[in-house]
Structure formats: C-alpha cells, structure tokens
Structure 1
Amino acid sequence: MTARDLHTSQARLIHTKGAGSATLLRLITHFGSLQAALQAPPDSLNQAAGKRIADKIPGADDPQVKQTLAWLSQLENGLLTCDSPDYPRLLGECDNPPAVLFYTGDISLLKQPLLAIVGSRTPTRGGIQNAHDFSADLAARGLGIVSGLAAGIDAAAHRGALDADGITIAVTGTGPDRVYPAGNHALAVEIAAKGLIITEHPPGTQVHPGHFPRRNRIIAALSLGILVVEAAEKSGSLITARLGSEAGREVFAIPGSIHNALTKGTHKLIRQGAKLVGNAADILEEVAPLIDRTRTDENKNRAETDTAESLPDPEYEALLDLIAHDPVSVDKLIQKTGLTAEVVSSMLLLLELNGYVESLPGNRYCRIASSPN
C-alpha cells in the first residue's frame, strides 16, 4: 500500500459523519488500524463502532478528504495514529486519547521529556517575561516546552524555548492549516520549522470554543508537569492544570501580587497543592525522577530511582567521558558524539540532575569534582 493509499483510507474514516475520535479509537483497537477497519465487512465495522457508519464513509473524491490528502502531500506534514510506535506513551495513557494527530515538523520530539507552560492570554509584562525566562532556562537544560500557541503566556513560552535553541511543541485547537490567533502566524511558521505543531483536528477545521478544552487535555497528557504563570480565577489554564493533576502530573505555579487579578488563579492552585516555584531549579527538582519515563526514544525501561551512584547506560558514560572539569560547550559535545542537539541536551539534563555535571553560563558544562570516575 502506497503512502497516498494509506492516507486515503485514513482520511475517509476521519471524515465519516458521526465518527469522532472515540469511534476512531474503538475501530483502531478492534481492527488494529484504520485501513484495516475500512476493509472490514460493513456489519463488522458497524458493530465495532457501536453505530451505523459503514454507509456514511465518504469516497476519495469527497472535498474534505481531498483537502486532507492535499495537506498530507506536503513534505513537512504528517498523520500519526494511536497504533503507531511513534505515538507518545503518556498521551496514550490519558482518558480519551486522540485517535489521530495531524502534525507539521519533527514528530520525534514527542519522545523527549516535556513540560507544559500555560497562562493568561492577556498577561502583565512581568508575566510575559516570566514565561519567556522559565521556558528558555528549562529548554536550555533539555526539557521540551509544550503550550497552546495562544496569545500571551503561550506565545511567550514558545518564544523562550526557540530563543534558547530548545524544543517547543504547539498543540492547537484548529485544523493544522489554520493559525489562531492570526497574529501568531510568524511564530507558528518558526515552530513548524524548528519544533512541532500537532492537532487532533483535520485540515479545514475552524476555531470553535469547544475545541480548546480538548486541546488542553493533550497539552496536559504530553507533559511531565504543568507550569501556570498567570491565570485569572476562571482561566482555561486552570482546566489544563486540573486535567494534569487528575492524570498524575506535577502542577507548578508562580505566585504574584495579591492585588493582581491574574494571580488569583495561580494562588488558588497553590492553595490546592500546586508547588510554588521561583525559578527553573524548583521545577527540575520535581520532574527529575520522572524523566526516565519519557526516554522512549531509546526503548529502555530505566528505573525512576536512578541516582548519581549509577549511570543510566553506557551511552551516558561515553558522553560523560567527553566532559572534563574544564567547561565544554554543548555544540562541541554534539560535534564529538554525532548525536542530535535534542538528545544531547536531554542526556545532559539527566546527568546534571543526578549530580555528574554542572551547567555554566554560555551553554557550557563541566564535570563536578566529586562525580565518579
């Protein structure tokens, strides 16, 4: 089956009237894939779907199907289904995971350890600065930054990660061919080129209020934790934080003035048990034991109890051997190892958290004197 044939099968079911994400998920679970579901007898298809959909499947010449195929024909675009080995494990474990993800950019970035940064669409200047600076610091230390490409805090978080040459992933509530708000179009183009944009909605999907809570569940599920920078009492960011907490994710909040309406939501989270943070180190301290769970790109099950007494594996030992007690730049380590910047940054983060190396200004690292070997 050619890539276009595969995409045609997938697009026809995706655009079937009445076949939402939950139905598609049932079909994939039952038949193993969307293309296998399409080839099943109508009665079997209806039974697996829990409703009559076999006679509603559009043909390959359907306008919406053709629109999706045209979008997928572009080199940088793709479609990820929940039966793919590239589908993020954490996302698959959430309630009602998306059956499909449309993406633009580097899909392998979903395998990196990620942290969500969310907040108000109309933040204060200080809130924008905090979102940018926390994002830049965390991204420089190897954490990918996930946000929703909204105005305000989301945009500042994406920008901070990009400015630090780190990973950023935008989860949108529209089709992958739409940018909302339109003012973030240039930012979206840069994220697509250097990071990743994902959505569960097919091309052509317009803005709808109901899409954003669904987007928020993906943001929360992908991440080890959620940092809320500024949020009013009824902010959508609190929904993301709640969804993350219900899924067992860490929730962090930056405090602010009691006279600022945009800190009422963050203060509420702190009262409910979110960790008050003043710098990136406060977050790294909490997510350190969880990072191994997201190292799926290496297909290894490392214990969360890894400590500075035992390196995770020989690949880390090889990287550590290249780091002397004199500072060495990340660029030099990338050059010597032949690994990607994302992989090296993630490995350095774990080495730092386990007490082997120390990060220095100028994106440099050195061995800690008391580290083994």
Structure 2
Amino acid sequence: MATSLAERGVTVASGLAKGIDTAAHSAALDAGGRTVAVIGTGIRRYYPAANRQLQDQITEVGLVISQFWPDAQPTKQSFPMRNAVMSGYAVATVVVEAGETSGARIQARLALQHGRPVVLTSQVMRCDWAKTFAENPGVYVVHGTVELLEAIEDILSHQPTEAGLENFPDLALR
C-alpha cells in the first residue's frame, strides 16, 4: 500500500515503530517517495534501536518529527501522544492492522476526533472497535490496494488546498 501511495505522490507518515510503520517508511523510500516519521522519543533518540539506520535515512531525505525534548526517552505515555500528533498532522489515517489495545486504534479514534478521514482495511474489520468506528462519517472500509487508492483519491479531492501545498498530501499509514 505504501508503495502505491508513494508512487502517486502521497507522502507516507508513520511512527517508525517495528512492523507496519517500518514497512511503510521503507516502501515509500524504495519507491522514491516521501515519508515522515513522527517519533515517540526525543529527536536524538533511536527507538526502536533496530530502526536507527532507517531514521537516519528519513532524516536525510524525508522528515522526522518529535514533540518531545531532544534527549527524551520513550515512555508509556509518549506513544499515544505521538499518535495524536500524527493523526492531526496527516490528511487521513489508514489502519492496516491493529488490535483492540493498539496505538493504531488510538490514532484512528484521535483522527476521527480531529475531523480527519480514517481508512480501515478488511483485515482490521475483524476487530470490534473497527466495526464500531466504521459506522462514523468519514470512515472508509477498503478491500485491497485498488479500493484504498480510490478512497484516498476521494479524500484528497475533498481537501481544501493551501497555496503550493496541494501536490504534497500526507497520509498516516499505521
């Protein structure tokens, strides 16, 4: 999904965590696209440590954002706070996979509270929280990449544009 989005000029924003976040950032970079990492630590920290090289690469060719002091360590509270920043920053949030207590679920809830569209994959729809969220306006349920791209086109076509920024939509992929 990240590859397809990046190839269409959509900036992929994610949290630089293990799993989907790492895959989303890597795929966007491999496709020659733009990516933004919103991290849950200070800007001079690497968390998880395994993503140090990826964070450095994003710093060179993309953007790394942190709301925390430069040397701040990760805390239990910092990641939900990061998700709030990401949901407000991105035009929309796409949830690829998320359990009942996951950060991606938190971000989807916050995105709805921020008035941002949320895209849920059919895999996520197995969760009770996703079924409840799907009843809200601004929530898209997609089955595969083609439907995802259609949903994103619809979302982007309804976004107000600011001078010069219409060609750089950011999308949070979780």
TM-score of the alignment, normalized to the shorter chain, above 0.5: yes
| Cα pair 1:232 1:264 within 8 Å, conserved | no
1:191 alignment partner, SS class: helix
| Cα pair 1:224 1:290 within 8 Å, conserved | no
Higher helix proportion (structure 1 or 2): 1
1:231 alignment partner, SS class: coil
Is 1:164 matched up with 2:31?
yes
RCO higher in structure (CA 8 A, sep ≥6)? 2
CA distance in 2, matches of 1:194, 1:291: 26
Q: What do the CA deviations read for 1:51-87 (whole angstroms, capped 9, x no partner)? A: xxxxxxxxxxxxxxxxxxxxxxxxxxxxxxxxxxxxx
Is 1:184 matched up with 2:45?
no
| Cα pair 1:139 1:166 within 8 Å, conserved | yes
Q: What do the CA deviations read for 1:32-63 (whole angstroms, capped 9, x no partner)? A: xxxxxxxxxxxxxxxxxxxxxxxxxxxxxxxx
Residue in structure 1 matched with residue 110 of structure 2 by the alignment: 243
Q: CA deviation at 1:139?
A: 1.2
CA distance in 2, matches of 1:140, 1:199: 26
Residue in structure 2 matched with residue 138 of structure 1 by the alignment: 5
Is 1:255 matched up with 2:122?
yes
Is 1:219 matched up with 2:80?
no
Unaligned runs of 5+ in 2: 170-174
Give the alignment's TM-score, normalised by structure 1.
0.41
1:203 alignment partner, SS class: coil
Q: CA deviation at 1:213?
A: 1.0
Residue in structure 2 matched with residue 285 of structure 1 by the alignment: 153
Is 1:275 matched up with 2:126?
no
Give the alignment's TM-score, normalised by structure 2.
0.84
Q: Residues 102-121 of structure 1 correspond to what in structure 2 (within 5 A)?
A: none
> Larger Rg: 1 or 2?
1
Identity %: 36
Q: Residues 45-84 of structure 1 correspond to what in structure 2 (within 5 A)?
A: none
- Between the two proteins, the alignment pairs up a number of residues equal to 162
Unaligned runs of 5+ in 1: 1-133, 257-261, 299-342, 350-373
User: Residue type of the partner of 2:59?
Assistant: A
Q: CA deviation at 1:163?
A: 1.1
- Determine which of 64, 74, 79 is the counterpart of 1:207: 74
Task: Quote the RMSD (CA, aligned, Å).
Answer: 2.1
